[in-house]
């Protein structure tokens, strides 16, 4: 079979720049694709955080990552905005990035079968391929796949900025870019791509409904025949307690005592009481409405009056910063509130906690539950999107299942699931065998990378 040539375009890629799960995916899926024989390359902007000399680097076993350099647009500390909000020139920045992606293909003499675009930041690429570059021989065999990692972030801009795209003004209409009198890049990505995917099978269905469609459900329904959902995986070279040098002590499913050593060290570092028997509950999250933190706020006093410890790592909306700071003051003894982005502390929390909460309002895929599994930390999740596709309710009688789940977006439903988890936590034998069994689950890219290859082949018609 002909070797597939794929360029994955993303605004963030681990280990160079990350604000969320997109970076994890863009930094790990290509490694799995490369191992399966795809000629895969990656392209991203060169932000100030990219400490690399030159205009490319390699990751894994020689996967090339091209950097698009531009001092004005990308040489900044943050990716999309600062504490004052989104950068006002984001349309300039990502239109520039999208144009540069096509230019770079030509400079590198790499004519891809697929440009795999991700979210609004690269959504202009399919538009260019179908308009300004439509008759360019270099791209005559190039198709666009558009993956939606989060439909709620659409890349909306005032309509008078449309000329920044460099496209014919006539395209600012309801069939392409216009969305309630604004420019909507996500919409253009959906309209112009040869195929659309999202990051879990359940989210692929959910986004066709009014509740989850963020106003684009109608546009998506019209393209339903080319829409699919492929569950994200994680890279066990990056997330593995047996090899992780950022945690206090390495451990495996055969030696979960090592996990409890991590717990004690984390308790110590966080200035909490050092005691293995106190259940430790963690959250690592962007602090955004999506993540169900209002449910946490409503139960937290009752929860913290129980014998538990709560550790949070997150940054985001100011109102959640205020809320969690207040919580830390009210419960100084059993909370550790860390309002920042900190990759090392994140690993320590995944390793040291007993429970990990993801009560999301919606969740396209979610990676926290998969990382938690690998570290023997049991997720408590709301049944939505990728959480529904990856976490099964634990059954004490049969020992089946991998976590604790709830469905209604209500504080009492979340609290019920936590209380069930805490009661089973008291049964040490049952708990430890649950811990061991989730550590053995396989959420690597192996299966999902094959699904992507199938999709790529379908798109190119091979
Ligand atoms: P999203 O992409 O919506 O933020 P995901 O669950 O897909 O959510 O991915 C979140 C990723 O970002 C995970 O790898 C998680 O560990 C990480 N993360 C989130 N917040 C922080 C933080 N404050 N510090 C370190 N890592 C974080």
Q: What is the pLDDT of residue 319?
A: 94
Q: Best substitution site from 346, 352, 357, 390 to test ligand 1's pocket, by max atoms within 8 Å of Cβ?
A: 346
pLDDT value at 239 more than 80? yes
Q: What beta strand segments (E) does 32-92 contain?
A: 39-45, 56-59, 63-68, 81-82, 85-86
> In ligand 1, which atom is closest to the CA atom of 199?
7
Residue 400 sits at φ, ψ, to 5 deg, of -80, 160
> In ligand 1, which atom is closest to the CA atom of 25?
7
10 Å CB burial of residue 262 (0-12, 13-18, 19+) is buried
10 Å CB burial of residue 394 (0-12, 13-18, 19+) is buried
Q: Rounded to the nearest whole angstrom, what is the distance from the C-alpha of residue 66 to the centroid of ligand 1?
A: 24
Signed CA dihedral, 113, 173, 88, 147: sign only: negative
Q: Rounded to the nearest whole angstrom, what is the distance from the C-alpha of residue 21 to the centroid of ligand 1?
A: 6
pLDDT value at 1 more than 80? no
Q: Cite the DSSP H helix spans in 131-275.
A: 185-192, 201-206, 217-222, 257-269
Instruction: Give the mean pLDDT of the chain.
Output: 97
CA distance 115 to 15: 21
The pLDDT confidence band at residue 462, using thresholds 50, 70 and 90, is low
> Which tens digit of pLDDT belongs to each residue from 295-306?
999 999 999 999
C-alpha radius of gyration, the chain, whole number: 22
Q: Rounded to the nearest whole angstrom, what is the distance from the C-alpha of residue 284 to the centroid of ligand 1?
A: 6
Q: What is the pLDDT of residue 382?
A: 98
The pLDDT confidence band at residue 184, using thresholds 50, 70 and 90, is very high
- Identify whether the C-beta of residue 199 lies closer than 8 Å to the C-beta of residue 149: yes
Q: Rounded to the nearest whole angstrom, what is the distance from the C-alpha of residue 148 to the centroid of ligand 1?
A: 17
Per cent of the chain over pLDDT 70 is 100
Average pLDDT in the 187-198 region? 98
> Which tens digit of pLDDT belongs to each residue from 409-418?
999 999 999 9
Q: Cite the DSSP H helix spans in 375-427.
A: 385-390, 411-425
> Which tens digit of pLDDT belongs to each residue from 115-170?
999 999 999 999 999 999 999 999 999 999 999 999 999 999 999 999 999 999 99
> In ligand 1, which atom is closest to the CA atom of 314?
23
> In ligand 1, which atom is closest to the CA atom of 149?
2
> Which tens digit of pLDDT belongs to each residue from 347-360?
999 999 999 999 99
Q: Which of 406, 351, 354 is nearest to 382 (CA)?
A: 406
Q: What is the pLDDT of residue 84?
A: 86
> In ligand 1, which atom is closest to the CA atom of 367?
6
Give the containing element (helix H, strand E) for 412: helix 411-425
Q: Whose CA is nearest to atom 24 of ligand 1?
A: 341
CA distance 75 to 71: 5
Q: Best substitution site from 25, 284, 390 to test ligand 1's pocket, by max atoms within 8 Å of Cβ?
A: 284
Q: Which residue has the tokens 């979610």?
A: 366
């Amino acid at each position: 079979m002909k070797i597939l040539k794929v360029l994955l375009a993303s605004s963030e890629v681990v280990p160079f720049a990350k604000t969320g799960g997109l970076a994890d995916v863009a930094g790990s899926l290509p490694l799995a694709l490369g191992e399966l024989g795809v000629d895969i390359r990656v392209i991203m902007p060169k932000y100030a955080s990219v400490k690399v000399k030159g205009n490319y680097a390699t990751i894994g076993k020689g996967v090339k990552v091209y950097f698009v350099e531009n001092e004005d647009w990308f040489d900044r500390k943050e990716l999309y905005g600062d504490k004052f909000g989104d950068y006002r020139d984001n349309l300039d920045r990502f239109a520039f990035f999208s144009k540069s992606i096509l230019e770079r293909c030509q400079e590198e003499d790499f004519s891809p079968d697929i440009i795999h675009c991700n979210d609004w930041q690269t959504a202009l690429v399919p538009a260019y391929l179908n308009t300004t570059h439509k008759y360019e021989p270099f791209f005559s065999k190039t198709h666009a796949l558009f993956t939606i990692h989060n439909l709620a972030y659409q890349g909306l801009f005032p309509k008078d900025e449309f000329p920044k795209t460099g496209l014919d003004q006539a395209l600012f209409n309801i069939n392409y870019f216009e969305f309630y009198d604004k420019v909507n890049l996500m919409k253009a990505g959906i309209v112009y791509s040869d195929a659309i995917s999202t990051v879990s099978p359940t989210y692929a269905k959910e986004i066709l409904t009014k509740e989850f469609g963020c106003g684009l459900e109608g546009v998506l329904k019209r393209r339903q025949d080319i829409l699919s959902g492929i569950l994200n995986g994680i890279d066990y070279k990056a997330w593995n307690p047996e090899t992780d040098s950022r945690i206090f002590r390495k451990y495996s499913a055969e030696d979960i005592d090592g996990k409890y050593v991590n717990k004690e060290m984390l308790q110590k570092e966080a200035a909490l009481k050092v005691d293995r028997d106190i259940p430790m509950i963690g959250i690592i999250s962007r602090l955004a409405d999506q993540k169900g933190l209002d449910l946490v706020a409503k139960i937290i006093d009752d929860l913290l009056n129980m014998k538990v410890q709560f550790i949070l790592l997150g940054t985001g909306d100011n109102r959640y910063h205020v809320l969690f700071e207040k919580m830390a003051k009210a419960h100084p003894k059993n909370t550790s509130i860390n309002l920042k982005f900190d990759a090392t502390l994140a690993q320590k929390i995944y390793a040291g906690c007993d429970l990990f909460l993801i009560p999301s309002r919606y969740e396209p895929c979610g990676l926290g539950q998969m990382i938690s599994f690998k570290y023997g930390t049991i997720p408590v999740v709301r049944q939505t999107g990728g959480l529904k596709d990856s976490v099964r309710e634990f059954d004490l009688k049969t020992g089946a299942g991998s976590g604790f789940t709830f469905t209604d977006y209500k504080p009492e439903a979340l609290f019920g699931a936590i209380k069930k988890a805490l009661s089973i936590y008291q049964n040490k034998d049952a708990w430890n065998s649950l811990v061991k069994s989730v550590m053995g689950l396989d959420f690597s890219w192996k299966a999902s990378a094959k699904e992507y290859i199938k999709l790529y082949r379908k798109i190119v018609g091979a």
